[in-house]
A and B are shown apart, each in its own frame.
Chain A
C-alpha cells in the first residue's frame, strides 16, 4: 500500500474515534511523508498542530498504525512547507515592486482568479452562450443603434461607449446582443476574460462572499475582468451593499478602461432605489433604448428561425405569426416552436389554417376583455379611482390615465370613437380621437407612457 492510501485508512479510523472539530483541526491537513528503517514520518501544517499531535495524539496514531499492520519503532513529526498544503496560494512567483495602473485593488496575478473562482460559482466564461452571435441577430428599426454599438464594442472593447447601457422591454433581444458582444470579444481576443452575470447571480455571489468571508476572491474575479456584462441590473434595486460593491467594481474597471455592458428593463433614472452615484455612472457612457421589433422585423425573425428548423413558411403564415405576437420575440419564438412541433407530430404542413387553429386568431384574442376591465385596470395602475377617471376633473394626474384608457379601448377592443367617449362618460367623440392620437404620438418617445401601457396590457392578459 502506498503512503497516501495507508494514511487515508489511518485517518479514516481516527476520524471515528475523535470529535469532528478535533479531526478537522488537527488531522485533516496532515500527511504521511515516509516510512523508512522503522521510522514513520508524519507531516503537519504548522507548529501548533505538530505539538498537539506529539503530545496528545501520539498514542492514538501509534495504535492506529499498528492496527493497519505498519511495523515501526518511532514516530517523527515534521512541519510541511506552506506551499505544499494550499494549492490556492500562488507559488514561486517572483515578487517585484510594480507600478499600479490607476486602481488600488489591482489583482496582479490572474492565475488566482480561476481557481479561487471555484469557491464562487462560475468560471470565466460561464453564462456566455455561444449560440448568441451577431450573425443570427436580426436588426430592426428598434435595435439598429444598439446593434451598431455592440459591434463597435466587440471590435474595440473599452474605448467607445463605456459603459454601454441597453434598456427595453422583455424579449426584444437585449440578452442576445450583449452575449453576442461578449462572444465577439472572445473571438477577436481569445485570452480576454469576459464575465457575464445576471444581477441576481451577482447578488447571490456577493452574499456568499460575505457569508464565507471570500470578499477578496469576489473582488478578484470581478475586478480582473476585461469585460463585465451584467444582465437585468434592475434587480439590484434596494440591495444597498451589493450596490456599493458594484459601485467599487464599476470604478475599478472603468478606471482601467475595461468594457462594461449593462442591460435593464428601464432607464437608469427609472430604477427605483438605485443610488445616485450608480445611476450617474450608468448614464455616463451610452444608454440605448431598445424597442419592440416592427412588423417587418418580426417577419424576418420568423423566417430566419424557420430556416434554422429547415421549414419553409408561406408569407401568410409568417404574417399571421407576426401579428399574433407583437411585443416580445421570445413569445414569437414560442409561437413558432409550437407551430413547428404541432406540424411535426401531426405530420401536416404549416398552413394558415393550421396556424389559426393552433394559436387562435389575433383578432379573437382580446374577446374576453370588456371595456370595464380596461378602465378599472388603468385606474388601478395609476392608483386613482374609477370614479375619478370617469369624472369631470381635468388634473394632469387624471387626464393622462384617462387618455391612456381611451387609447387602450381603441387598440385592444377596436371600439369606435363615439363608443369610447361614452364608456368614459364623455359626450364628444372628438375627445376620444384626440386622446388616442396623443397617446400614440407620446408612446413613440415617452418611455413612461410606454411602460405604463405595457404594464397594463400585461396585467390584462395575465
Chain B
C-alpha cells in the first residue's frame, strides 16, 4: 500500500477532478498564486490556468454564492473556504441559499456544489481559528456533510462528493494535512456509510474527522489493558449512518462519542439521542461523550490541550464506562 500525506491525498483528489471533468473549477482565497492556505492546490495555477484556479477577493459570502450560481449555470465548482471559522461569513448563502433552492423551487433546481473547508483546533491559533462547527451544517436539511478522516477517504471522498447533485460540504481537520497514512488499493464506494476502523467487543467509540486518530491511539492503549474498543468513523455527518453504530452497540452494549465540537447541542448529542431512541435496550451503561470544553479555544498550549478531546481523556472515559456496570 502506498503511503502519502493527507494533503497529498487531497491534492490528488482535486487534480483528478480537474483532469477528468472540464466543468470542475476551484475558487477561493489564496488557492492560486499562494497555493492554498494548506498548500492543497500548490502548482495548480500553472497546471490548470487562472480560468479554473480562481483566486477570489476576501468575500466568503459572495464567492460561495457565486459557487451556487455557477453550479446552477452548469459548472461544477469546488469552493474552498480557508477555514470553518470564516465560513460563518457565508452562512446565509449556504443555509438560506444552497440548502433551500431545490425544495423552495418545487424541485426545479439542483445545486451541485462542493465546499471544502478546514476545521478544528490544536495549533494554538486561539478562539477565532479553532472552531469545530461541523454540527451547524449537519443540522441543515438540503446539504450533505462529510468528514474524511483517513488518507484513503481524503483521496476518494471528494470524487464521490462530485457525483452528488446536491451541495456537499467536506470538512478536513487542519491537523491532518501533514499526517501520513496508507492509501488503500480499493476506493470506498459509498460516501455516506460509516466505517469500522478497529473491531472490538467491549465498547463502541463513535467519532469522525480529526478525532479518529486520537480514538485509535486510545484503543491501542486500552488493548494493552485487555479492553477491546470498536472504533467507528462516521465519515458522513449528514446523513448519519446510525445503523453501523447500532449494530456495533448490539455487540458492545456501551458507547462513547468523541467529537471535537462543544458538548452542548453537539453532533455527539444527536448521536446520543438517536442511540437512546433506537438502541436504549442494548445499553448496559449511559452513553458517554468526550467533547471540547465549553470555552472559546484558548491560545496557551496547556489550556488548549485541556480544552480539546485528548487520548488520555478518551481512555479514562472508556474505563469509567466499563467500571460502571461490571
A complexed with B: no
Which residues of A does B touch, CB under 8 Å? none
Q: Which residues of B contact A (CB under 8 A)?
A: none
